Amino acid sequence: MSILTFKGGVHPYDGKELTKDGQVVEYNPKGEIAIALSQHIGAPATPIVKAGDEVKVGQKIAEASGFISANIHSSVSGTVKKIEPRLMANGGKVNCIIIENDGKYEEVEIKKPKPLSELSKAEIRELVKEAGVVGMGGACFPTNVKLSPKNENDIDFVIVNGAECEPYLTSDYHRMMEQPEILIEGLKVSLTLFEKAKGIIAIEDNKPEAIKKLKELVKDEPRIEVKQLYTKYPQGAERMLIYACTGRKINSSMLPADAGCVVDNVDTMFAIYDAVIEGKPLIQRIMTITGDAINKPQNFLVRIGTNQSELIEAAGGFKEEPEKIISGGPMMGFAMSSTDVPIQKGSSSLLCLIKDPVSAVEESNCINCGRCVDACPENLLPSRLAKVARQGNMEEFEKLNGLECCECGSCSYICPAKRNLTQSIKSMRKDVLASKKKK
Ligand code: SF4
Ligand code: SF4
């Protein structure tokens, strides 16, 4: 089998050995939970419960408030205490429904949908919407919208993103190893919407066991193929993944559907399966709790709204006080000021590091070595872009195609002068996009 890839990229230490082995452990929260009304791209959901209401597991507690929005369901049974802003992992505050968990986990009655073969496409999309499914790789785009491109006949590929190229993360790997049949069933549900499309399960070649297992399971599935990707960061970024799997290119102003592709991550495929086959809403996800500061790094099946501090305790607490805690992976995640924040649908990992690899080094002058250019998967000139970004030169930034940056962090990672290129480019991108919106 050929090994697919893209130009550029880097090879950071992957840290996956910390949590690759062992089984996923289900964790049930102890105290109150905080379920954010905005944990997806688009308009925040509108609460449909109030203080004092009793709720059950799986009950809808907030409704999508627009085309790009998502329903929210309770992950515990108990009493709604209040609705108030709470701190999130990214440092911002978001309105949350606070529920006193009664620890009984009483479930709302769930009506199992009709068999897949009897469901219309509209019914499938409605079930995905009703279940509040969003992209769980971090983007959190409502999945029913993604599954409704302008012309469904133009979709040639439904790609399952099993690359999991971010260092330290192993939640997708565990899903693929522990429940591969459900992943395949979720993909089959998506393929029902696109009759012309082929299904691709794309996995980096540092997960040979998962590749072997899934290849065996799809050997008699004419519409599904497992593709092996070269292990290189950011192989799982949407544009790089599409290029590696299909040879098609997209830019920042295009959607995957413009290249005939729909891309969903592994956990999202599970949520699609649960929604359409079981009629269950999205209330749980797998999260990797890891890093050298954690006593027992591992993966947990967690309920949305659980406080992240509880998971650190469940993983044996800190071995040593971490200098840095990151929500997500080390390349694209963000530093957290507090772990007293709830898990959201897009929370993939909590990474706790004894030493902060960034604060320990100081930037020095660019030596024009060109390594950032070689590493950039978007063929950009990161050193030039960072320079014009620091000068605040929006016009030049756009001329140099700065908006095409996917903020992967490869340039900063590879730079021997430890220049904080990504941060400068990222801030400027934000400013340029904001100024375009204003106009
Ligand atoms: S310029 Fe952007 S896309 Fe290129 S390596 Fe840096 S962060 Fe990644
Ligand atoms: S990698 Fe760093 S030192 Fe080398 S050209 Fe880029 S910014 Fe300059």
Judge residue 248's burial from the number of C-beta atoms within 10 Å of its C-beta, 0-12 exposed, 13-18 middle, 19 or more buried: middle
For residue 209, being part of any structural domain is answered with yes
Number of domains in the chain: 2
Q: Tell which of 228, 257, 278 closes a domain.
A: 278
In a domain, 228, yes or no: yes
Residue whose Cα lies nearest atom 4 of ligand 2: it is 369
In a domain, 40, yes or no: no
Where among 278, 295, 319 does a domain terminate?
Answer: 278
Question: Nearest ligand to the C-alpha of residue 332?
Answer: 1
Q: 134 and 260, same structural domain?
A: yes
126 and 243 both lie in a single domain: yes
| Sign of the C-alpha dihedral computed for residues 279, 282, 283 and 284 taken in this order | positive
Establish if 150 belongs to a structural domain: yes
Does residue 386 lie in a domain region? yes
- Indicate which residue's Cα is closest to atom 3 of ligand 2: 366
d(CA 67, CA 43): 8
CATH code of the domain in which 12 resides: 3.40.50.11540
- Pair (256, 377) in one structural domain: no
Distance 213 CA to ligand 1 centre (A): 34
The number of the ligand nearest the C-alpha atom of 415 reads 2
- List the chain pLDDT tens, one digit each, 439 residues: 678 888 899 999 999 999 999 999 999 998 899 999 998 888 999 999 999 999 999 999 999 998 899 999 999 999 999 999 999 998 999 999 999 999 999 999 999 999 999 999 999 999 999 999 999 987 789 999 999 999 999 999 999 999 999 999 999 999 999 999 999 999 999 999 999 999 999 999 999 999 999 999 999 999 999 999 999 999 999 999 999 999 999 998 899 999 999 999 999 999 999 999 999 999 999 999 999 999 999 999 999 999 999 999 999 999 999 999 999 999 999 899 999 999 999 999 999 999 987 777 789 999 999 999 999 999 999 999 999 999 999 999 999 999 999 999 999 999 999 999 999 999 999 999 998 877 7
Q: Looking at the structure, tell me whether residues 405 and 272 fall in a common domain.
A: no
Nearest to 255, CA basis, from 153, 145, 360, 329: 145
Measured from the CB, is residue 344 less than 6 Å from ligand 2? no
pTM of the entire predicted model: 0.94
Q: Rounded distance, CA 108 to CA 101, Å?
A: 15
Residue 128 lies in a domain: yes
Domain boundary among 263, 278, 293: 278
Q: Which mutation among 371, 380, 420, 424 tests ligand 1's pocket best, with the greatest number of atoms within 8 A of CB?
A: 380
Asked if the structure places residue 303 within a domain, the reply is no
The reply to whether 147 falls in a domain is yes
Boundaries of domain holding 388: 371-438
Do residue 262 and residue 378 come from a single domain?
no
For residue 402, the ligand 1 atom closest to its alpha carbon is 1
Residues with CB under 6 A from ligand 1: 375-378, 380, 382, 405-411, 421-422, 425
